[in-house]
Structure formats: structure tokens, C-alpha cells
Amino acid sequence: MAGKSKLSRRDVLIKGGIATAGMTLLPSHVLAQIAQLARDETPVNWIDEFGPPRSPDFVLLDWNGLESWITPVDQFFSASHYPEPTVDGDTYSLEISGAVRQKLNLSLDEIKSMPRRDLDFTLECSGNRGVPVFRGGVFNARWTGTPLAPILERAGMWDNGMEVVFFGHDEGEEVITPRRSDPLTMKQNFARSLTMAQAMDPDILLCYEVNGQTLPQKHGYPLRLIVPGWYGITQVKWLKRIEVRTTRYMGRFISRDYVTIREETHNGETVWRQESVGKGRINSVTARVTRVGPLHRIYGAVWGEPLREVQVRIDDGPWQTAEIIEGEDAEYAWKFWRLDWDRPSPGEHTITSRGITAAGTMQPAPDDPYLAGKKTYWESNGQVTRTIRTFES
């Protein structure tokens, strides 16, 4: 992000560490220019800092160090609800069953032999920024796999099918009747569902690689679901079984957990709106500020929905349109943006960014009724204001 000119996708991939042996190397004078630009820009420290990770072992994105458009794998956050399973790729089999004309059992090799596709997608946890210590639960990756839709077509879904449920190998004990003197418990697998129409989206992939390498065990090996444009809870890891159903699926992680509850008023009466977490929402963050002489540069990222523009406001000044410097043509991946700020007065300044979707929806301010009435921490996409201190140049 630290450059006077827009870096190409290839430049960023090389910086992100996923260049392949077949890539043509950049000319030496271009590499020298990039290095010089990085040396010329001096970081300006934030007065405020995002909260630390919940534990030293819990990886969150370091916004101050945001440079690679493709996030290195060791910087991916990871969350799971049951113990991480160990699945043998050599004996792995994916079952497609339920309301289908032909039950399928596909080995990993069979899946890999199907048409291969790469897709750049920014994966965000729906709880990102919902609590102060969880800021940075987002990353951008290049996912590789095969499209789901042709496999469902091959299985032949029944005409009266309603939903497609995706089960992971991860499992745990759940208390079904907590108020009974002898509570009923049962073991269940993590699962999420999509409607039939949603599941047939041609961009949904069954993925076995990320950033050009085999999917790490922690991130779903040997196979995971990638539903671009949706929050992380839908991206089922350690995929075990796909089941087509003629009834609604009402599992814990779609009907009880990961439900956004919002207070609304209808005909003068308070009502509660409850919606299962699904598609991503427009979100942006100011990542860092640098200085080159008297000129300051504000850098950030925006993601979540198709984008019209990013706007930045300094203190109580007017909103200004930022320049998209990377990822402009990537449909499902974040965009890096920059705003030049010339000769700021010495002292403290606030910086706020907001994304505006292609449909005209604006990232909400903290006092927006949409956010003010929300009682759960999922889908927290309010505008972020950060504070820096500048000095005489």
C-alpha cells in the first residue's frame, strides 16, 4: 500500500508470498522504485490502538502492517465451535445425499479432477469488531477448488427440495433440554444451510487449496466450502456431507447462535426483528497513516459488498473520495484505498472512513438507527473513527 503509483495485482501477490515459479520477475528498476517508496514513507503512530487478541494464540489481522493484498496464510484468523478434527485426505469421501436422485460419494482425488477455479475472496467473521478485543477477524485469500453447482446438478436435486445443508467433520455435545432434571444431550456436527437457489450460485466453491498451497488442517483440510460474499460462519470447514432437504434446517448455528436481533418500532409498538447471519455488509477501516515530508497519506481497506466508492473525513471536515489503489476489479475481495492529506496542522486529528455500495447503501455511522437498535454483536459494520497526532514537518 505504500507507493505513489498503483501496484499491480502481480506486485501484490509477490509481496504476499504466493508467486509461482512460472511468474515473470519484475524488472529490477521497478523493484528498486517500490523499495524506495517504502523507505520514503514514515509511519505516523495512532493515539488509539485496536484491542489485543483474546489470547496470544488467537491470530488477528495487524492493521498497522497491512501491505499484502493477499493475506499470508500465517496471518489468517481461525475460529471453530467444536474441537478441530483430523481428517485423512487419502481416505476422504464427500457424501451428497438426501432429496437427490443419485447419492454421490466423491474422493478428494475425484473432486480435484473436476474443473478447477481460483477465486479471490475476503473472509470476515460476523463477530469482527463486535467486541473491543476482536478487531481484525478478516483476511483476503485466493481460494482454489471446483464449483459446487455442477455436483448438485449431477446428483439431481428433487423439484421440491428446499435447502442444502453442509455438515463439517467437527462435532460436539449439545444439551437439548436444559431445564429438565435429566437434560437430554446429543452429539452433532457443525452445519449451516443455504436455500436451493443460493446453493446453485456458480461462484460457490468446494476448496482444497488456498494461496497456492494445500488447505491447512486448521483452515478446513481436506475440503471446505467457500460462499463468496457471505460471512465466515457460512464457510463450513472439514466438509463431511452435503444434504438436500425438503424442509427447513433449524440447527443451532443458524436458528439460535449467529442470529442478529434488532429492536424496531411498528405502529408505535416495540418489536424484535431476528435474522440469521448471512451475506456480508459493507465495511471499511483506516489501517495506517504515513508521511512523506509535509504530505500525509491515509491508507485503508473496504470490503463486504459491491463498491461504488470510499469516502474519508478528517476531523469535522467534508467527506472526500479516496482512490482505490488495489483490488478494484476483484468482485469478492477487499479493495485497498488511499487519500493524500497535504500539510495537516500539528496536533490531534480524527480520521473516519465509510464505504458506499454500488446500490447506494452507506456504511452506517455509530448512531444510525440500524446499529443503535441492534442488541447482538454480529454484523458490526459501523464507521470507524481513529485518532492520530501530527507534528511540524
CATH of the domain at 160: 3.90.420.10
Is the domain of 196 the same as that of 92? yes
Q: What is the pLDDT of residue 39?
A: 58
Q: What is the pLDDT of residue 25?
A: 40
Q: Is residue 302 part of a domain?
A: yes
Asked whether the beta carbons of 314 and 361 are under 8 A apart, the reply is no
Q: Is residue 224 part of a domain?
A: yes
As beta bridge partners, residue 272 has: 263
Report the alpha-carbon distance of residue 222 to residue 217 in Å, rounded.
Answer: 7
Q: Is residue 209 part of a domain?
A: yes
Give yes or no for a cis peptide into 222 (omega within 30° of 0): yes
Is the domain of 283 the same as that of 317? yes
Domain span including residue 149:
74-257
What is the number of structural domains in the chain? Answer: 2
Q: What is the pLDDT of residue 10?
A: 36
Q: Work out the mean pLDDT of the chain and round it to a whole number.
A: 88
Q: What is the dihedral of CA 185, 186, 192, 195, to 10 degrees?
A: -100
Give the model confidence (pLDDT) of 33-74 as tens digits.
444 455 578 999 999 876 656 666 778 888 888 889 999 999
Is the domain of 253 the same as that of 283? no
Residue 62 grid coordinates: 495487524
Is the domain of 49 the same as that of 106? no
Asked whether the beta carbons of 27 and 43 are under 8 A apart, the reply is no
pTM comes to: 0.87
Q: Which of 257, 287, 307 is the last residue before a domain boundary?
A: 257
Is the domain of 166 the same as that of 305? no
Residue 31 above 70 pLDDT? no
Is the domain of 93 the same as that of 242? yes
Q: What is the pLDDT of residue 135?
A: 82
Is the domain of 245 the same as that of 295? no
Q: How many CB atoms lie within 10 A of CB 243?
A: 18
Report the alpha-carbon distance of residue 257 to residue 251 in Å, rounded.
Answer: 9
Q: What is the pLDDT of residue 33?
A: 43
Give the model confidence (pLDDT) of 225-254 as tens digits.
999 999 999 999 999 999 999 999 998 888
Asked whether the beta carbons of 378 and 79 are under 8 A apart, the reply is no
Residue 77 above 70 pLDDT? yes
DSSP string, 216-262: PGGGTTT-EEE-TTB-GGGS-SSEEEEEEESS----HHHHTSSEEEE
Q: What is residue 56's DSSP assignment?
A: T
- Tell me, what CATH number does 47's domain have? 2.60.40.650
Q: Which of 224, 257, 290 is the last residue before a domain boundary?
A: 257
DSSP string, 118-172: EEEEEEE-TTTTTSTT----EEEEEEEEEESHHHHHHH-B-TT--EEEEEEEEEE
Is the domain of 357 the same as that of 328? yes
DSSP string, 79-116: --SSPPP---TTT-EEEEEESBSS-EEEEHHHHHTSPP
What is the bridge-based pairing of β-strands 239-245 and 93-98?
parallel
CA distances from 322 to 136, 284, 319, 388 (A): 22, 12, 9, 18
Is the domain of 251 the same as that of 282? no
> Locate cell 476448496: which residue?
207
Is the domain of 42 the same as that of 90? no
Is the domain of 126 the same as that of 232? yes
Give the model confidence (pLDDT) of 78-110 as tens digits.
988 899 999 999 999 999 999 999 999 999 999
Q: Is residue 348 part of a domain?
A: yes
Q: Is residue 15 part of a domain?
A: no
Q: Is residue 8 part of a domain?
A: no
Residue 169 above 90 pLDDT? yes
Q: What is residue 283's DSSP assignment?
A: E
Is the domain of 161 the same as that of 286? no
What is the bridge-based pairing of β-strands 138-147 and 117-124?
antiparallel
Q: Is residue 69 part of a domain?
A: no
Q: Is residue 340 part of a domain?
A: yes
Report the alpha-carbon distance of residue 358 to residue 381 in Å, rounded.
Answer: 17
Residue 7 above 60 pLDDT? no
CA distances from 167 to 227, 229, 232, 238 (A): 14, 20, 15, 8
